[in-house]
Amino acid sequence: MGPTSITRRPSTTGIHCAVMLDTKGPEIRTGFLKGGKPVQLKQGHEITISTDYSIKGDENTICMTYKKLAVGVKPGSVILCADGTISFNVLSCDKVQGLVRCRCENTAVLGQRKNVNLPGVIVDLPTLTEKDKEDILNWGVPNNIDMIALSFVHRGSDLEDVGKSLGEHAKSILLMSKV
């Protein structure tokens, strides 16, 4: 884990500025749609979300990349899509088939590959993606970053895992959880 305070590096200009690398973290996305065309969703309409990413979605069924969706959510959970412009209320979960039955809470248009947020759900995905690790080790460390802002930190062990990925550099880089 990183230090609790930042030691400023000497500056030739007299100005001190800390540098923070912001990680993207893992993503959950909706899938592709039939004909590549957006789907009109209507408030109150029920829809099935599948974890089978090969499905081409329509107004009755869409898919998402998170394989453990039906395990992570429960009736009453909320699933947000497209920067929160679309809200689904979970009605039931079929953990065996990886299906989640939902009610759309607003009228909206859903396009392909939109981001998904699962408020209150501990998502079983790594805190750092391979791209994040590359960014940190190939750009951040050589450029003497002071801090890393981490997405999807759910428990202290997530920070410990990131510290292990940093190796010796963990002593000089502060880790911050984005909440």
| pLDDT, tens digit only, all 179 positions of the chain | 333 344 445 556 767 788 999 999 899 999 999 999 999 999 999 999 999 999 999 999 999 999 999 999 999 999 999 999 999 999 999 999 999 999 999 999 999 999 999 999 988 998 999 999 999 999 999 999 999 999 888 888 889 999 998 999 999 999 999 86
Return the C-alpha torsion angle 85, 35, 59, 117, nearest 10.
Answer: -30
Which residues make beta-bridge pairs with 149? 22, 176
d(Cα 175, Cα 157) in Å, to the nearest integer? 13
Could you tell me the two tokens for 149?
């802002």
C-alpha dihedral (52, 56, 62, 64), degrees to nearest 10: 50
Please give the single-letter amino acid code of residue 162. V
Q: In this structure, are residues 59 and 44 in contact, taking their beta carbons and an 8 Å threshold?
A: no
pLDDT (0 to 100) of residue 2: 37
CA-to-CA distance for 112 and 30, rounded, in angstroms? 6
Give the predicted TM-score (pTM) of the model: 0.81
The pLDDT, as a whole number, for residue 1 is 36
Which tokens go with 54?
């090969």
* Chain centroid, CA 121 distance in Å: 11
Token digits of residue 52:
């089978």
Q: What is the pLDDT of residue 110?
A: 97
